[in-house]
Amino acid sequence: MKILVANRGEIALRIMRAAAELDYQSIAVFSEDDVSSLHTKRADEAIPLKGIGPLAYLDIEQLIAAARETGCDAIHPGYGFLSENSEFAGRCQEEGITFVGPRVDTLEILGDKSQARVLAQKCGISLMSGSLQSVTLEQAREFYSTLGDGKDMMIKAVSGGGGRGMRIVNAMDELEEAFTRCQSEAKAAFGNEAVYVEQFMSPARHIEVQIVGDGNGQVVHLHERECTIQRNNQKLIEVAPSPGLPTELRDRLLADAVLLAKEVKYLNLGTFEFVVEADTKRKNASYAFIEANTRLQVEHTVTEEITGVDLVQIQLQLAAGKTFDELGLDPENPPSPSGFAMQVRVNMETIEADGSVRPGGGTITAFDPPSGRGVRTDTCGYVGYQTSPNFDSLLAKVIGFSPSQDFSQTINRTYRALSEFRIEGVRTNISFLQSLLQHPDFIANRISTGFVVDHLEELVKMDNTVHQKLFF
């Protein structure tokens, strides 16, 4: 089997490694300003694309032509870019190329976040009030005016994810600028400027459920991930499973995710995301479905660590026609989770006291990722790499895992791994991540999606203290 990887950076490397372990060939593509990206060297062959920045990776016909030229059987879209684009999946189908992901009809329903809300409503799953289709600026204004005092609104891109094309609106005079920026970001990142609106729950936690479907109605969940620690709606830290989540609430979330996936006879990997009342210990704590991600998630790593399941290999094997029985997946007996795993996102940026973000690109002059028992680093960095401001700032994902039921052991292992991570030549958020991991409320699991904003001043002050640096 030969697979074109329609992506770049660390996720392209992750897919290529999984393919190689299955004895599949991988083909890389790269834009004109991405020649030195490491994925071009890890593939069996690399094909140049015309254009620079994300637009090159959003060019459906160029990608289809590259797949045809190299005789590829399948295309893996990774995450972001065209990973949830039904038009792209449809073109693959027309050309007889397997799209490694859900079917076109599933992408049309779940890849469109507003249509996913329609499905959830049909299944009787709780939603925040909001639109069931994309909206105009005037329609967004009308909806916001119905919320009443003290309630905020979220504007979200219909396509894609990763925090792009999303803004919280706290006042009517903020709405037009937020709406315009969401459209612009969504167009640039996903090729679709459509947005929808919904009421914003605060304080809340962000919990997502990982599922796998065989396309015939069988669905197995691989437990949940806690994705509550975010900055500007972009996840910074993800944990699996969610520490301290009551069993009854966990079971309800898992059951709703499986129900949604069964309703569309889901094929391949998917994630169903929920906002959950911040005080999860309260009896009958409320929650609401917010969206589905019809692709591999950035944070798939933590699920792999607690279950021992290689999610990317599962994707590729399902695309190759393997059955659940052949893959050892049983919907009635999901793999039991072991301990806790945590992923922290090392971005090329620093965070200022006022919450502003200072980009940190340049040429990497030193790069020594952490390793050892219970530590994993997924990265595209290397010494001499000239980073590009045209792409996402994510440089590495550091994953700490401990089989212990004591969550603090996973925190400590991840903190120490960050202390061992030597990066020079570009600014990163490593010390900010260390400050998060050392904050007493984070350690005690007293968190919400507003945690970073609520504690920004003290986190930045901690950021200016000397964290451990376990390298020369």
The residues that are catalytic are 295
- Contact between 304 and 358 (Cβ < 8 Å): no
Give me 357's structure tokens. Answer: 């973000």
- Contact between 398 and 377 (Cβ < 8 Å): yes
Amino acid at 471: F
Contacts of residue 406, defined as CB under 8 A and 6 or more positions apart, other chains included, come to none
Please tell me the distance from the alpha carbon of residue 219 to that of residue 128, in angstroms, as a whole number.
Answer: 25
Contacts of residue 110, defined as CB under 8 A and 6 or more positions apart, other chains included, come to 102, 116, 119, 264, 270, 292, 294
DSSP strand pairing (2-5 vs 74-76): parallel
**Eight-state DSSP code of residue 296:** -
Contacts of residue 119, defined as CB under 8 A and 6 or more positions apart, other chains included, come to 109, 110, 260, 263, 264
Contacts of residue 334, defined as CB under 8 A and 6 or more positions apart, other chains included, come to 220, 221, 222, 223
Please tell me the distance from the alpha carbon of residue 217 to that of residue 292, in angstroms, as a whole number.
Answer: 17
Give me 126's structure tokens. Answer: 């709780």
SS3 422: strand
Please tell me the distance from the alpha carbon of residue 217 to that of residue 324, in angstroms, as a whole number.
Answer: 11
Nearest to 312 by CA among 22, 7, 9, 47: 22
Half-sphere exposure of 153 (CA within 13 A, CB side): 28
Identify any residues that bridge with 343 across adjacent strands, giving them in sequence order: 238, 399
DSSP strand pairing (366-368 vs 422-424): antiparallel
**Eight-state DSSP code of residue 336:** P
Question: Which H or E run includes 172?
Answer: helix 172-190
Look at the block and give the residue holding tokens 């939603």: 127
Cβ neighbour number for residue 405 with a 10 Å cutoff: 10
Measured in degrees and rounded to the nearest 5, phi and psi for residue 126 equal: -60, 140
Give me 118's structure tokens. Answer: 């329609």
Q: Distance from first CA to last CA of the chain, Å, rounded?
A: 44
